[in-house]
Structure 1
Amino acid sequence: MSHRDPRTKQSSTTRRRVLAAMGGASAVGLAGCVDGGDGDDGTTEFVAAAGANPGTFDPTIIADATSNSVVGTMAYETLIASLFDLSEFRGELATDWEQVDETTFNFTLREGVTFHNGDEFVADDVAFSIERMRGTTNAATVSFVDSVDVIGDYEIEITSANPHAPFLADIAAVPILPSGADGISESPAEDDHDFTEESLGTGPWVLEEFSDEDRAVLVPYEEYWYDGDDHPGTAPWDRVTFRVIPEQVSQEEAMANGELDMIDNPAPFELDQWADQTGEIITGDAVGFDFITYPVLQEPFTNEKFRRGMTRLIPKSDVIEAVFGGNATELAGPISPGLGAFWDEEHEQELLDEYVGQDEETGLQLIEEAFEEEDIEAPFEISFITNVNRTRERWMEIIQQTMDDTEFFDADLDVRAFDDLVPFLLDPEGAAQSTDVAGIGWTGGSDPDGHVAELLSSERHVPDGFNWNLYESEEMDQLIEDGQQTIDVDERRQVYQDIQELVAQDVPMANMWTGDQIDVVNPEKLESLDQWSPHPNSSNRYNTLYKPHLDEVVYPAE
């Protein structure tokens, strides 16, 4: 089976768009501009909010959606990329790909591509970038790769040890870096290169400036490889500024005051406010989900009745209405509606009814039985922890208060900065060794494996992955392996239904809902709101600004 990169023909580039593209990277630096408007020199700037300080600018080890959306997918590229509707892959640094046999893909690489440091892109860079991911928190992305054979400067073959269903989806998550660049190696921990000073990708944006806890500024890469007829060869914005604004209300105030052109974290329960303020609501499907994790190795959470009883008390449908304004879908497990063929609404409802849906009477009875079995005297002190995020804080507060209102718990809410919470979760001596219940979101991805393996596989215990409560199940490990190696879609769908059922039975986590993707954009800065496409994966939120090979380009207003 071979695949040649398809292109959907659109209207030819207008003279105005060509002129806009010629602006290139000629704009000066940030110079303190925060008003979201055009500069006095005629330059165009798009100013967006980042809900957290980027954790790292090294794309190989990025582990959070903010870092990935601000620089990971803006400055770096992969061999292939999926369309925003996740319906197909298109070539990015590869022009063609062919499945040689059930375990091998051959990729023809794009010629004439240069990295931001001037190095030419060749096949050795792909092999280097795959090896660079091994041994990192993101190692699972390439764990299926058995060998990488460089056939020529622009041809490479990648082989898996076994048939691997998410082969292309995983390859699409490997950022490509230059193998010969000074200061970087196959082990990111040994690097001397400062990624906050210089980006090393092939992407359409170059990192120009980063001020910790303040902002990141990107400008178009003047030597970008795109040479199609349908869109300009460089981004039509002179710069993109991401302002670090963790507080949701502060983002909204800045947007209402005209200081921002887009916010990444609007309160879904207050969307009516934008009817009278600058800001247009654009919604779309999402693949991510919100969940809480139980410390399954700590008593009394070792008792399944205790975990299930707590889960049964969570008023999911009430939260969806009160906090999300109905803009969310209730979940029983980690498979979300955005995964299309792998989402079964009827099966989901069966799991909710039987195992994890709200049932106060059953929940209280289970908790009482668990207290007796574990010889625990009520009230049990428990802390619910989450990060600064007004929406997340609200639903975590409802859960905390729901537990605190029973005779069984003395519950409190601990809200931390995102870059304080993540290290706690990823530390083997952190979340797994406490009795705290963590609430957070997971972006997942376009393949169901990305929704389960990192969180539930025993091979992905922190710090080697994101299984921070150290859940372990031989049955789950086997199902995850089956899901990775089962190619037939119908058979694979059944595997993920079995995974959903096991999660509902074991309850290492309480999966709650998938919130719709909601962007608020300043319509006065855009040529057309129709050009803005919310991405179902928050890690790719700003890709709509300029990904011409995916037919995603947003033009500034004249």
Structure 2
Amino acid sequence: MSHSDNGQTKSAATRRRVLAAMGGASVVGLAGCVGGDGGDGGDGSDGGDGTNEFVASAAANPGTFDPTIITDATSNSVVGTMAYERLVALTFDYSEFRGELASSYEQVDDTTFRFQLREGVTFHNGDEFTAEDVQFSINRTSGTTNDADVSFIENVEILGDYEVEITSTDPHAPFLNDLAAVPILTSKTDAISESPEQDDHSFTEQTLGTGPWELEEFSAEDRAVLVPYDDYWYDGDDYPGTAPWDRVTIRVIPEQVSQEEAMAAGELDMIDNAAPFELDQWENQTGEVVTGSAVGFDFITYPVNQSPFTNEKLRRGMTRLLPKSDVIEAVFGGYATELAGPISPGLGAFWDPEHEQNLLDEYVGQDEEEGLRLIGEAFEEEGIEAPFDVSFITNVNRTRERWMEIIQQTMDETEYFNAELDVRAFDDLVPFLLDPEGAAASTDVVGIGWTGGSDPDGHINQLLHSSQHVPDGFNWNLYENEEMDSLITEGQTTLGAEERLPIYQDIQELVAQEVPMANMWTGDVIDVLNPANVESVDQWSPHPNASNRYNTLYKPHLDEIVYPAE
């Protein structure tokens, strides 16, 4: 049974929150009634052959199965955190780091950590895990889109087969947090190298991690099937040595309504993409709703280097028009928290509601009169004749499409914009964002989500630092500000939450002033489970980070496990 609390509330509380009204803002119709009494099992529960199979849905096709270069939450959740492990891992409530492939670790000084490694651990191809694999995996990550996870590292010294010492250039506050994002692969096969683009290995044929699951089958746009790794290293007394499920199948179902229909028909044991405005449908259906706190957030980005968006007044004026509180009630049923910047409530010590409200009041909260005034001044200053054509781009996701359509309509109803909504498959949107000639070179406004993490640096650095311009990072609108770069570095190199708090408040204020992005809200995690196939729904812990959503099935060293029903 899971020992993580995570502050989640169960279905009784959730069901009281339903869509009150979409009003005139909604053009997207609500899904039709989802009927059925559980069906005949279909692809779900027992796998059709008496095995214990857990069947879940993914809203997008995994972008890659090479864990080093994964850039999306779907790929991470399907294989990145199930088949691969890190030196350390955070508990689900973000209260502590625990050793994963490290049996123990100690901080030697402000810039150095020493790790004792687990012995007798093998990779899925049979290779033994040793210190050289840690060095190899860190070097492999360097220079990729995920370079920010290792760029602080100055040296990885192998002290023995099962001991490494990692040194940072300067004191690095998110040291363990960043290492917890670096997957460890075997260095002992010629099929992969320190440069992922030079690999000969097919990661869709075989995973090369040490995790409790290994890939058995992958069919693009259809499903990924994982099975327990028989030689998994866990040998504790509290939980079984391998996962209690015979296999986990992740079906690719992009449409939210299709996920819900499959769940209602008994074909799925979990959906991770339930419409928050239709949670009442599960009152008499197969699913049971479980919610939890989240750290990620939704946001829109402005093309700050393209006229007229080079004008700060235009960006702030548009942000002032955003009806965030109305959207939170209408689309999220109240299960979200309004944001002024990229720091979310899940970050605990770094979240200051009073400071947040001050930024909303002064800079980026809804104020229609002020918003229209600022837009008008910007148009005059830039010599722009209204209406200006602008596309609002997002990915296929019924919830996101709804709030993006409300934003698009809000702008279109002014005299200043001829606004349209452009909905793309996630697989098409990501390359557009990561291409310097894509989003950055257009006048499109992009709406998307960011999974964030347990440290504020993970909410800011890759999106806002100039060193993270695409394709080297995720700063896809090519925003650049020396003060921002300096504050981010200061936040990374200052130790202690109390000492770092004012730095991130300054970052929040700079974002609110310059508005390279408009941060919207943090929505709660909402999972819907089939109680017929799990021993107890209470075992299920929704993870605050979407990249780790299936880890609760079996992470024994983090006290996470869900057993099949008898």
Q: TM-score range by the shorter chain?
A: over 0.9
Q: Could you list the per-position Cα deviations for residues 437-496 of structure 1 after superposition, in whole angstroms to 9, with x for gaps in the alignment? A: 000000011110000000000000000000000000000000000000000221101110
Q: Which runs of 5+ in 2 are unaligned?
A: 5-40
Q: How does 1:153-172 map to 2 (within 5 A)?
A: 153-172=161-180
* Aligned mate of 2:518, from 500, 510, 523: 510
Contact 1:163 1:485 in 2 (8 A): yes
1:278 maps to a residue whose letter is T
SS in structure 2 of the partner of residue 271 of structure 1: helix
C-alpha displacement of 1:40: 5.2
2:369 is the alignment partner of 1:385: no
C-alpha displacement of 1:41: 4.3
**Equivalent position of 1:442 in the other structure:** 450
**Equivalent position of 1:15 in the other structure:** none
Q: Report the count of equivalent residues.
A: 529
1:220 maps to a residue whose letter is P
**Equivalent position of 2:243 in the other structure:** 235
Q: How does 1:183-262 map to 2 (within 5 A)?
A: 183-262=191-270
2:376 is the alignment partner of 1:368: yes
* Aligned mate of 1:120, from 121, 128, 136: 128
2:146 is the alignment partner of 1:146: no
The structure-2 alpha-carbon separation of the partners of 1:465 and 1:276, relative to structure 1 and needing over 3 Å to count, comes to same
d(CA) in 2 for partners of 1:43, 1:8: 26
d(CA) in 1 for partners of 2:416, 2:333: 30
SS in structure 2 of the partner of residue 206 of structure 1: strand
Contact 2:302 2:315 in 1 (8 A): yes
**Equivalent position of 1:266 in the other structure:** 274
The structure-2 alpha-carbon separation of the partners of 1:236 and 1:194, relative to structure 1 and needing over 3 Å to count, comes to same
Q: Could you list the per-position Cα deviations for residues 396-426 of structure 1 after superposition, in whole angstroms to 9, with x for gaps in the alignment? A: 0000000000000000000000000000000
**Equivalent position of 2:67 in the other structure:** 59
More relative contact order, 1 or 2 (CA 8 Å, 6+ apart) = 2
2:95 is the alignment partner of 1:72: no
1:555 maps to a residue whose letter is Y
Contact 1:296 1:508 in 2 (8 A): yes
C-alpha displacement of 1:38: 1.1
2:404 is the alignment partner of 1:396: yes
* Aligned mate of 2:310, from 287, 302, 308: 302
2:44 is the alignment partner of 1:42: no
2:193 is the alignment partner of 1:181: no
SS in structure 1 of the partner of residue 69 of structure 2: coil
* Aligned mate of 2:541, from 533, 541, 545: 533
d(CA) in 1 for partners of 2:50, 2:163: 43
Contact 1:49 1:243 in 2 (8 A): yes
Q: Could you list the per-position Cα deviations for residues 229-285 of structure 1 after superposition, in whole angstroms to 9, with x for gaps in the alignment? A: 000000000000000001101000000111100001000000000001100000000
C-alpha displacement of 1:34: 4.8
Contact 2:42 2:48 in 1 (8 A): no
d(CA) in 1 for partners of 2:3, 2:407: 47
Contact 2:339 2:522 in 1 (8 A): yes
Contact 2:299 2:518 in 1 (8 A): yes
d(CA) in 2 for partners of 1:486, 1:228: 37
C-alpha displacement of 1:39: 4.0
d(CA) in 2 for partners of 1:175, 1:341: 27
2:532 maps to a residue whose letter is E
SS in structure 2 of the partner of residue 202 of structure 1: coil
2:347 is the alignment partner of 1:345: no
Contact 2:133 2:187 in 1 (8 A): yes
d(CA) in 2 for partners of 1:243, 1:460: 33
Contact 2:42 2:266 in 1 (8 A): no
Report the TM-score, using the length of structure 2 for normalisation.
Answer: 0.93
Contact 1:34 1:47 in 2 (8 A): no
Contact 2:155 2:166 in 1 (8 A): yes
d(CA) in 2 for partners of 1:478, 1:39: 54
d(CA) in 2 for partners of 1:556, 1:190: 41
* Aligned mate of 1:312, from 292, 295, 320: 320
**Equivalent position of 2:105 in the other structure:** 97
* Aligned mate of 1:476, from 465, 468, 484: 484
2:73 is the alignment partner of 1:84: no
**Equivalent position of 1:137 in the other structure:** 145
Q: Give the root-mean-square deviation of aligned CA atoms.
A: 1.1
* Aligned mate of 1:461, from 443, 456, 469: 469
**Equivalent position of 2:19 in the other structure:** none
